[in-house]
Structures are given as C-alpha cells and as structure tokens.
Copies of this chain bind each other. A is one copy, B any other.
Amino acid sequence: MYEQLEQHVLKVISLPADQLNEFFGLLRKTEVKKKQFLIRPRDTVTTEYYVLKGCLKAYYMDETGEEHIIQFAIEDWWISDFEAFFHTKPAKLYVEAIEDSVVLGIDRDILEILYRRIPRFERFFRIKTTAAFVAGRERILAILEKSASERYLDFCATYPAIEKRVNNYHIANYLGIKPESLSRIRRQLELKP
C-alpha cells in the first residue's frame, strides 16, 4: 500500500505482511498546502505524522514574534509537537508546511492499542525515538562546540536534501543565526577554498 513506509518500517524491524497492513490501516492521510498548519499552539495534539511527500517545519514562536525552528521533515521523516504528543499537554509549537505536502497521521491512543497487540511496534518506535534522541544530542553538542560557519557546513553535509529545498531564512533559523549572518558566512566560505 505504502511502498515507502513499508521500507521505512522493515529497515528497523521484521514483520509479517498482515501485521504491516494492520498498521497501514490505522493511518489517516492528510494533505497540507504550503503555509498551512498541522498543529498550532494550544492545540490538543493527539497525532504524529509521517511525511509521504513534501516538506514541513516545527517551530516555536516567542513573545517577540521570532520563529525558532526545532525540526524540518521531508519524505520519510516523522513530525509533530512531540512534547505535547507524548506528555499530553497543549501544543507549544507550530507545525507548518513549507511545500505542499501529504502526510500520514497516527493517533496516540491507537498507537497504544497497537503496542499491546503487536509489541514489535513498540520496538520500532523505541528504536526510532532512540535515533532521534541521539541526533538531538549531536545538535546540542554542535551548538555548544562549533561556530556558526562550522554548523552550516555540517548541516549541508548531514541534510543536503533539506539544504537544497528550503530558503536561507529557514537554514539560518535552524542554525540559530540571522539570514544576514548566513549570507556573510557563505561569502567567507566562497573566498577561502
């Protein structure tokens, strides 16, 4: 049914076809146009989303109106306000489409039932969450240790697919700097090598 997602799951756990299909049956397909939202602050977040097609961002908007992007998601990534989703709190983040996108949503309650029926899926999400946790640590370390231009080069090396798709503003914001600074950094890097 979803070739892409099937590969995504089978890369992590092995599973008979019927259990995979049971999982597919729990997903709801949603389309989001560019600049539309999947989640807004104060929303009740019961769903996490797998990206079939497109590009989205999860960000916090502070009191001064500044955005702070904590995550991008393109094909094959999961996105949500995970704090709200896991801890059953009102959303603090926006999840917004940067391009017209198609996502598959799965509900927390439905996921809980699935875990009881097929513990393998608990394993799948444990492993995915572990990888996300480790990636988060890497990002923290990068912010603590590296200069903006090193972080920019790392970003390009780690997420070339994202770097090509989103504009300077988004990359700068993710790196924790202003677009003007990113512009200057790019020029510096061009002059050197």
Contact = CB atoms under 8 A, between A and B. Distances in A.
Interface stretch (A16-24, A79-87, A153-161): A79-87
Contacts of A176: 143-144
A123 B126 CA distance: 8
A122 interface: yes
A136 to B, nearest CB: 4
A125 interface: yes
Interface size class of A (residues with CB under 8 A): 20 to 34
Q: Specify how many copies of this chain sit in the oligomer.
A: 2
A132 B9 CA distance: 23
Interface string A72-95: 000000000011001100000000
A145 B83 contact: no
Contact of A83 (B125, B132, B134, B143): B134
A134 B68 contact: no
A145 B62 contact: yes
Contacts of A141: 60, 68, 70
Nearest 8 interchain pairs by C-beta: A136-B136, A126-B126, A119-B119, A133-B133, A68-B144, A83-B134, A144-B176, A68-B145
Interface of A: 60, 62, 66, 68, 70, 82-83, 86-87, 115, 119, 122-123, 125-126, 129-134, 136-141, 143-145, 176
